[in-house]
Structure 1
Amino acid sequence: MTDGAFRIVTINTGKGDGPYHDRLEVLADALAALSPDVVLAQEVFEAASGAASTARRLAASLGMASAFHAVRRKPRDVDGERLDSWSGLATFSRWPLREVRMRALPDDPADGDRAVLLAAVETPRGLVRTANTHLTHLRARDDLRVLQAREVLADAWWHGDALARVLAGDLNARPGHEVHALLRSGEAGWRALDAYEAAGDPDAAATVRHSSPTGVVEARLDYVYLLGTPGVAPAARVRAARVVLDQPIGGVMPSDHFGVLVDLEWADVSDR
């Protein structure tokens, strides 16, 4: 937190896919160079043996407190080895993490073990409540993404004291999908503001890009939302937002997703 700003980065770290160990080093260095205050990571690889851990490596590189929730245990191929492992959620913070808890989300037998990791960041100015989640990837299940998001919003944990409330992660939904309408609706007492939409470049919003027989396919799947109470002026404002971690370093991409960086600034008490 410098010059009144609070920097958040969300990134899907891509499990143990591709050149995992090389990717992890690139990701760790690139994230540290962004000087974030909080990082919310999804698809965080953790070998059951402890031989490899994305959460441990990133926490060390960032010099941050961390909370990790392991989900989706199964064997995975990682740099030529078959490893029993998890792909979980991890939250990293420059300050202590309080009131950490996990909440299971509704799922589908074809895509089970979805969750949200809740953690309150104890900043010098007050608590920032963060929800780190990864919604279902099933294309035909917009209804399930809505159910999952509704479950996140319904948690009483949000009602504790907070300077700001942030919901972020890989929502697996392009702009305009039903889950975004729910988040903006004010249901469950919260209305969400898309931080990137508020301050980012609409022509540089894609967070995934891949080649197909018909050309390059881009999509925006990763988001940072600020939750507020309808009719109440927020304590946090979006200063800037941009897509990050979207270029190879030494020929290696940090992940198969790009990150989203958001800088918040705090309103004076007299402005609220």
Structure 2
Amino acid sequence: MRLRILTINVQNDQGDPRRLDLLNRELRRIDPDVVALQEVISAGPRQQLDALLAGTALTGTHQAQAMAYTPPFADRYGGSAVASRWPHHVVEVLDLRLAGATDVPWCTLAVSIPLPGEGEVLFIGATASWRLDAEDARERQAVALTDLDARHRRALPTIIAGDFNAAPEAASIRYLTGQQSIGGRSVCYHDAWAVAGSGPGYTWTVDNPNARSVIGQIVGQPAHRRRIDYVFLGSRHAHPSAHCQVQGAALAFDQPGDGIWPSDHYGVVVDVEIGKDA
């Protein structure tokens, strides 16, 4: 079956309040089947997920709905959420506040989604530590993420999507894509953009006015552009009796609407053909 996957960091509720409506309009236009959302506010009356998904065919879960506690800074920077066309159930929430990354309020959500006629797929919405000098933490987070997959893996290839705060040449991404080991461990997932994307696919760039000032504060360099948002797909090594073939990968939320930019990140939308092998 054809499946459309989307990931987007919605930049909590900073900036122009009209961004939320623009994000919702684009979600309805793109019409994805499964979505990973980052920096979604869920605090008191500020319930962004409901507004983001209004009028879509998607059912959503915010990490706050699946956790018994609220990580520090979540009221300001939000948390992770996932949404799907078919009702899903949460199998685990992973708090990745590790040593060197204690200021990360975004937890990882793993949900099982029944795909009609194909069976269940494990979908993981993830975010890694954001600091430029925190690659050691991102490496450990990447290993924890793959351990999470191993605990709940289905026959259909696992889908992992989110904001990884690391470029393709970083150790954490190289580990995920089978290009290097970490601590004697190795795995292999397909980076959908590397398979079917066109161009560099930058998702956090000074070309986006919403990102320019943040990049200035964090990076301090005038021409910073990186691809840090990904869709990863489980390989045949872990799923020998199923397939998940990338049909296309494109940027999303990368243009202004009515003069408003949707977020400080661009999203990634990926079309795949997924199913059990005959």
Question: Shared fold (TM-score greater than 0.5)?
Answer: yes
| Residue 137 (structure 1) aligns with | 130
Q: Does 1:169 align with 2:162?
A: yes
1:217 to 224, 247, 261: 224
CA distance in 2, matches of 1:11, 1:100: 22
Q: 2:202 aligns with which of 189, 200, 206?
A: 206
1:155 pairs with 2:148: yes
Q: Which amino acid aligns with 2:53?
A: A
Cα distance in 2 for residues equivalent to 1:150 and 1:254 = 31
Does 2:100 match 1:108? yes
Asked if residue 92 in structure 1 is aligned to residue 83 in structure 2, the reply is yes
Structural mapping, 1:1-272, within 5 Å: 4-19=1-16, 21-46=17-42, 48-49=43-44, 51-70=45-64, 72-74=71-73, 87-105=78-96, 106-108=98-100, 111-124=103-116, 125-155=118-148, 158-185=151-178, 190-203=187-200, 205-210=201-206, 211=212, 215-230=222-237, 232=240, 234-266=242-274, 269-270=277-278
CA-CA distance at 1:85 after TM superposition: 5.0
Mapped to 2, the partners of 1:200 and 1:109 lie a distance apart of: 30
Identity of aligned pairs, percent? 29
Equivalent-residue separation in structure 1 for 2:271 and 2:13 (angstroms) = 29
Greater strand content:
1
CA–CA distance in 2 between the matches of 1:138 and 1:214?
A: 15
Give, in whole Å, the separation in 1 of the partners of 2:34 and 2:149. Answer: 22
Residue 180 of structure 1: how far off its partner (Å): 1.2
Alpha-carbon shift at residue 226 of structure 1 (Å): 0.5
Contact 2:107–2:126 (CA under 8 A) maintained in structure 1 = yes
1:109 is displaced (CA, Å) by: 5.8
Q: Alpha carbons of 1:22 and 1:194: their partners in 2 closer, same or farther (altered >3 Å)?
A: same
TM-score, scaled to structure 2? 0.83
Give the unaligned 5+ runs of structure 2. Answer: 65-69, 207-211
| Aligned AA (1:126) | G
Partner SS, residue 148 of structure 1: helix
Q: Indicate the RMSD between aligned Cα atoms, in angstroms.
A: 2.4
Secondary structure of the 1:29 match is helix
Structure 1 residue 97, shift from structure 2 partner: 0.4
Output the amino acid matched with 2:125.
N
Structure 1: tracts of 5 or more residues without a match: 76-83
Task: Using the TM superposition, name which of 188-197 and 248-257 deviates more.
Answer: 188-197
Aligned residue number for residue 67 of structure 2:
none
Structure 1 residues 24 and 113, CA, compared in 2 at 3 Å: closer, same or farther?
closer
The secondary structure found in structure 2 opposite 1:263 is: strand
CA contact (8 A) 2:80 2:106 kept: no
Distance 2:233 2:26 in 1: 25
Determine the C-alpha separation between the residues in 1 that align with 2:101 and 2:198.
37
Q: Is the 8 A contact 2:35 2:83 kept in 1?
A: yes
